[in-house]
Structure 1
Amino acid sequence: MQFVCDIVAQAEEEDTATSSRTYVQRDREHALEIPKRDYFDENPTHGEATFRDRFWMSKRLCLKRVGDVEARFEYFQEGEDARKKKSFTALQKCTSAIKQLETGNPPDEFNDYLSMARTTSSECLENFCNVIIQIYGKEFLRRPTSHDITLLYKAHKVKHGIPVNGRLYKRGYYLTDGIYPNWSMFVKSFPYPTIPKEKAFKKVQESARKDVEIAFSVLKGKWGILRRPNRHLKLANIRNEVYTSMILHNMILKDDGNAISPVHIRDPPVEPVIDDNVLSELHDEATHISIRFNFVEHIARNTPDLDEDEE
């Protein structure tokens, strides 16, 4: 009996010692005053320019999104824990999540600043990503509509000047490098151009093709979590962080007036049509050659300093 009592006493001592090592008294209400003083009061320490530099968005947009998630999801609404202490506010939780996305640093980086434990910060990020996708995913992660594509074509033509020499082709195409096959939807550059027309085409094609690569570079440059080793083991969490970064990026572009297609105009519903000729049309090498030829001729005709004598 004495042996059992000794074991129980030892276990209680270990529990007490463990709890004294891990429990940290955090003043959540006082911690709220720090970000408010620095960024969110009427006369904060840091102005709008600094706020945008550190949050990648305007303060107005940030507060609007905080209000949206707080109004719609219980997790971000202020409450009390089992000890009758107030929980973190939506402003604190969203600030932690946005800063984790922006920096890509560990979730306990803002432990001192927000008085928020690592597990709570991780929980904030996970819930924030889920909420942003649920509220805004349909608008800012939508598949391009015919209206969007028309505006994208127009913007691309203004920047790069690449229609296809007045010819109309049934299928769309992608600007690609040399590893792709000679199919109608791929427009490749010349690996070793020898005449001025080919050289001019290669320069324009590669410049336009890099738009996609640059787009991902801009996204990674803005949201550090995309360029740092990911700590999550769950594929769903990693996917949601990528989607949330893309949504916020597109949202900021629209808010700043830089979106190519800021209005979502849906396409009318249509019945799917089965066309047995689609595959053969996409694999048609003759169309591939024709599109590239018309590209070359159009660029040559619109390049005034092209030295035709070298041909």
Structure 2
Amino acid sequence: MPRTVFNRLYRAIEGEGLFVRRKDALSRGGIHPLLRMVAAIRMLAYGAAADSLDEYLSMSEDSVLQSLKSFCSTVIQKFGIEYLREPNEAVLRRILEINAARGFPGCAGSIDCQHWQWKNCPIAWAGKFKGKERNPTIVLEAICDGELWIWHAFFGSPGSLNDINVLDRSPTMERIIAGEFPPSIPYTLNKKQRTMPYYLADGIYPSWEIFRKTIKDNTAKKEEAFAKAQEAIRKDIERAFGVLVARFHILQNPSRLWKRSDVSNVMVACIILHNMIVESRRDDYQSAMASLQHFGEARAMFAAVQSFTMVSSRHSRITSKVDHFSLKRDFIEHIWNAHGSV
């Protein structure tokens, strides 16, 4: 974690919740807020047990756990609006421009799911949270861009659900069907104008217009070229999951927290910290990817209430298999014309 991010976190949480230095009955100073923050970050970064920090920080197990929970909830409260925001039209245009330069015009990011094992899941819930992993897990659905910024994070679904079941519960999918997101941004694909952005996904996702999947068992050279290009760009979300777990080893180990809300807060806080690090690293290198501040501050987007007929019509369009395969044919030709001979 860069020092600038660490200092910004400390300035924000100092004086909040447990991060206040209090005196005991003998007027001796208690645990310093900086020490509490270091304990919480060490637990997130190294996945260490709470009692293992006693020798290093002279804090009891209960104090470390309380610091972790308070740190995560405070980070969500202070930075959640900024770093878990929905991309506005200007930011979305920037993402589309970057992906168009990579060979995928109209691509708004990559979507996928990942499981986090819940060791202390209540026995009564074990069957509900146990899926193909054979252990209770909680599912994270995420969407990221090429810089690994996570724009959408939906965490909390039981591990017995697969990616399609989680998609049915996704708040972003509800907003897409309601017409609230994403905005219509025109782009050209194979000499045709389209307005619906899409996400790169793996084979389990449905054949809808908003998903662009690879082609299995491809035999033609055009299909093979498209499959290679799609799988290469879709690796953004796999890289994002890998970087997230590598930065916060607490996500690599089974969660030892008891409450589902605490587990969720840890995951969300790690995603916020991840986005903060991505933002700080973005400012450290020169590339064609301009800083977000050049496009104004991102904000949540709202649309007028639509009638049932309009929502139903949009749902039919988004889930249309005809449009999905039409888009796939255009993409095969686009990739072949651009990179087929390389």
TM value normalised by structure 1: 0.74
Q: In structure 2, how many angstroms separate the alpha carbons of the residues matched to 1:248 and 1:268?
A: 23
**In the alignment, which of 94, 101, 104 is matched to residue 162 of structure 1?**
104
Tell me the equivalent position of 2:292. 262
**In the alignment, which of 237, 241, 244 is matched to residue 266 of structure 2?**
241
Query: Which is richer in strand?
Result: 2
Which has more radius of gyration? 1
TM-aligned CA deviation for residue 279 of structure 1: 1.9
Which runs of structure 2 are paired with 1:122-141 in the superposition (5 Å)?
122-141=65-84
The question of 1:110 aligning with 2:140 is answered: no
Counterpart code for 1:171: M
Q: In structure 2, how many angstroms separate the alpha carbons of the residues matched to 1:187 and 1:212?
A: 14
The answer as to whether partners of 1:148 and 1:261 remain within 8 angstroms in 2 is no
Cα 1:74–1:201 shift into 2, 3 Å? closer
The answer as to whether partners of 1:173 and 1:187 remain within 8 angstroms in 2 is yes
Which runs of structure 2 are paired with 1:1-311 in the superposition (5 Å)?
57-71=1-15, 73-158=16-101, 160-163=102-105, 164-257=189-282, 262-263=292-293, 264-266=297-299, 269-274=302-307, 275=310, 276-303=312-339, 305=341
Q: In structure 2, how many angstroms separate the alpha carbons of the residues matched to 1:260 and 1:226?
A: 31
Q: In structure 1, how many angstroms separate the alpha carbons of the residues matched to 2:238 and 2:70?
A: 30
Where 2:31 maps in the other structure, the secondary structure is coil
The answer as to whether partners of 2:222 and 2:336 remain within 8 angstroms in 1 is yes
TM-aligned CA deviation for residue 151 of structure 1: 1.7
Give per-residue Cα distances to partners, 1:212-249, cap 9 Å, x unaligned. Answer: 12211110111001111111010111000001101111
Q: In structure 2, how many angstroms separate the alpha carbons of the residues matched to 1:224 and 1:289?
A: 40
TM-aligned CA deviation for residue 185 of structure 1: 2.1
The answer as to whether partners of 1:146 and 1:267 remain within 8 angstroms in 2 is no
Q: In structure 2, how many angstroms separate the alpha carbons of the residues matched to 1:304 and 1:192?
A: 18
Runs of at least 4 residues of structure 1 off by over 4 A?
258-261
Query: Which is richer in helix?
Result: 1
Counterpart code for 1:237: D
Q: Mind listing any 5+ residue stretches in structure 1 that lack a counterpart?
A: 1-56, 307-311
CA RMSD of aligned residues (A): 2.0
The answer as to whether partners of 2:86 and 2:298 remain within 8 angstroms in 1 is no
TM-aligned CA deviation for residue 74 of structure 1: 4.5
TM value normalised by structure 2: 0.68
- Relative to structure 2, which stretch is displaced further, 220-229 or 260-269? 260-269
Cα 1:243–1:76 shift into 2, 3 Å? same
Counterpart code for 2:67: C
Counterpart code for 1:61: V
Q: Mind listing any 5+ residue stretches in structure 2 that lack a counterpart?
A: 106-188, 284-288
Cα 1:260–1:229 shift into 2, 3 Å? farther
> Quick one: percent identity of the two aligned structures?
31
